[in-house]
Structure 1
Amino acid sequence: MVGAGTNTTMEARKLRVVLYPSPGMGHLVSMIELGKHLAARALTVTVALIDSPHDTSATGPFLAGVSAANPSISFHRLPQVELLWSEPPVMLTFEVVRLSNTHLHDFLAGDSPAVIVLDFFCSAAIGVAEELGIPAYFFCASGAQILAFFLHLPVLHGKSTRSFGEEGDRHDVIDDSMRKEKINVIDDKWNQTCRLS
């Protein structure tokens, strides 16, 4: 039963989902594809954008095309943050995400979404969702094999005190296809990038 003064339009009943991709076109495209599926299920989707520390001049035209073709998907660009140091590109991404937490908090506090979906590389934002009481889910834009590998890293850390590089080519958990695509940054298990994973 609908009470007096209740807005019964379809738009009023739509739940809002915020998607939070890590900086970079590949993660943005994958997250928007997820957004299209959510929008097709009568959800309103807002993508919170972080400016990439790298030049992404293709982002503007891409977002304009997505907006025109998908009216249920909107974009909110978080204010740009200032990077005070230079690190390898993957570390810059983690740092930009971490520094953007205050801006994300302010946006989410005003937007009151039903849920937030965080890019796998935006794990630093989980505390923001927890603080605001917003259910949070992780989305991995990569394949299942690399996701399984990253999720297994804590087990590898616990098996040995030695660095992965000292283990040589003996990574019991890594199959041949993964070994061919060796990720050099994980050779040093104490490397900051490896710890963030």
Structure 2
Amino acid sequence: MEATQQTPHIVMVPTPGMGHLIPSIELAKKLILYNNISITYLISNDGSSLEPQKEALQALPKSINAIFLPPVSFDDLPEGTKIETRIVLTLIRSLPSLREAFKDLKERSNITAMVADLFATEAFEVAQEFGVLPFLFYTSAALDLSSMFYLPKLDETYSGEYIDLPEPLKLPGCIPFQARDLVDTLHDRQNEAYKWLLHAVKRYRMADGIILNSFTGLEPGACKALNEDWPGFPPVYPVGPLIRTISSREDEDGSECLKWLNQQPRGSVLFISFGSGGTLSHEQLLELAYGLEMSGQRFLWAVRSPHDLASSGAFFTVKSAENPFYFLPDGFIERTKDLGLVVSSWVPQIKILNHSSTGGFLTHCGWNSTLESVVHGIPLIAWPLFAEQRQNAVLLSEDLKVAVRVQANEKVVGREQIAGYVKGLIEGDEGKMLRKRMEDLKEAAAMAMEKDGSSTRLLAEIAQILSNNRTI
């Protein structure tokens, strides 16, 4: 343990999944720059491999440590239990071991605060038990956090399914959006996952503050409203964009992608990736391949094996070891070899987005990928699949106007439609307008993280609050 008894020590409590751990790590790396803070992660274990988490945490400075808690059992849960339910239960069932680890740390170090993930609000009771500040880290957009603030009232005032609401939702400072674009978990109020999410959201008020991975230059209206128009909720600190930096793995891997990009004209390549958890049906995968071929545009595609029952392969659901190339159209690789590169392994996304040849990104609109696109100024084709991605797509396409959204009115988006989106983004007039607006956001993101930028100032303020175990 690097910390002394006097060094302010912060405990970070993430929940399973790299999508939430990655921005949490970036937050930790920022916080240790202030006030000689040290940090320990308490990692709950759902029983799946923790190698990705261990790899990410082992590469951190010595003042950031991790304790991996014993795995919990899900033998009593029925098959098909929603991801959100399992995430929350992982933390709840880890509470005894988390409490013991916290107690041990408290005896050996000066713990001043706990920062818990948005699904880890049960851990607040441990923070209060040991007299330290409970903070929440919200890893998505201000628009998404606004909908969570509104959820308890919506639950009380509307008895039906939200997808049947006749009017758009109009939240303070946010663009109006249809209820069908709410996070997946809210589409079935009878499911246990809905009840667990509502339970977690009601506990947000227990936090002394909420750290938000967005920034005022990206969502000015929503960020302002979160602190002015939601009485009873804790103050919100937009400190983003917190995104991955280039890792040692990116220096070692991905050379094939980068060598290929080096040979392409500036701004000519569409990067296609649905993230580590996004999956398409086999039929949709075929249509995407044919659409890319029809477009005649250059592309770099990180392809995954299809799955016909789930759009989310993240966490606990889809585990396919099959070669995704097997599912592509016959002859596709050969026919497109002069235009495209298809890879089935991990790709260095940050380096790809930062490459001068990359002119667009077809994305599932996960918030990490969204912020990475903003930081690097890459316009988007928004193809949301699950979680809060439809809300992100609304923000990107209708509010910020840096993306064209795929209109999936039918079960499968056709190849002609896909070809139109791709061609329009890379060489069309609409693509030029999207690119210009994204360049403006890129500049705003850089300003937020400058020495006197809005996010930097708030990070310094949060570090002081967490170090002193008191609100300012």
Superposed CA offset, 1:93-134 (max 9, x none): 111011011111111111112111111110122222222222
Question: How far has the Cα of 1:181 moved from its partner?
Answer: 4.0
Change (3 A) 1:171 1:154: farther
| Structure 2 CA distance for aligned equivalents of residues 192 and 14 of structure 1 | 41
1:121 aligns with 2:119: yes
Change (3 A) 1:181 1:55: farther
SS in 1 for 2:42: strand
The alignment's TM-score, normalised by the length of structure 2, stands at 0.36
1:43 aligns with 2:37: yes
Residue identity in the other structure for 1:47: Y
1:83 aligns with 2:83: no
Residue identity in the other structure for 1:59: Q
Residue identity in the other structure for 2:192: Q
The alignment's TM-score, normalised by the length of structure 1, stands at 0.82
- In the alignment of these two chains, the number of paired residues is 184
1:28 aligns with 2:21: yes
Question: How far has the Cα of 1:82 moved from its partner?
Answer: 1.3
Question: How far has the Cα of 1:158 moved from its partner?
Answer: 2.0
Question: How far has the Cα of 1:88 moved from its partner?
Answer: 1.4
The alignment-based identity, stated in percent, is 21
* Match in the other structure for 1:109: 103
**CA radius of gyration, larger in:** 2
Contact 2:16 2:87 in 1 (8 A): yes
* Structure with the bigger percentage of helix: 1
**Alignment RMSD (CA, Å):** 2.3
Superposed CA offset, 1:7-40 (max 9, x none): xxx9453111001111111111111111111111
Question: How far has the Cα of 1:139 moved from its partner?
Answer: 0.7
Contact 1:25 1:56 in 2 (8 A): no
| Structure 2 CA distance for aligned equivalents of residues 160 and 181 of structure 1 | 17
* Match in the other structure for 1:158: 156
* Match in the other structure for 1:173: 170
Contact 1:53 1:93 in 2 (8 A): no
Unaligned residue ranges in structure 2 (runs of 5+) = 198-472
| Structure 2 CA distance for aligned equivalents of residues 128 and 59 of structure 1 | 23
Residue identity in the other structure for 1:133: G
| Structure 2 CA distance for aligned equivalents of residues 181 and 55 of structure 1 | 32
Residue identity in the other structure for 2:95: N
Change (3 A) 1:88 1:173: same
Unaligned residue ranges in structure 1 (runs of 5+) = 1-9
Residue identity in the other structure for 1:159: T
Q: Which has the higher contact order (CA 8 A, sep 6+)?
A: 1
Superposed CA offset, 1:68-95 (max 9, x none): xx11101111111112214112211111
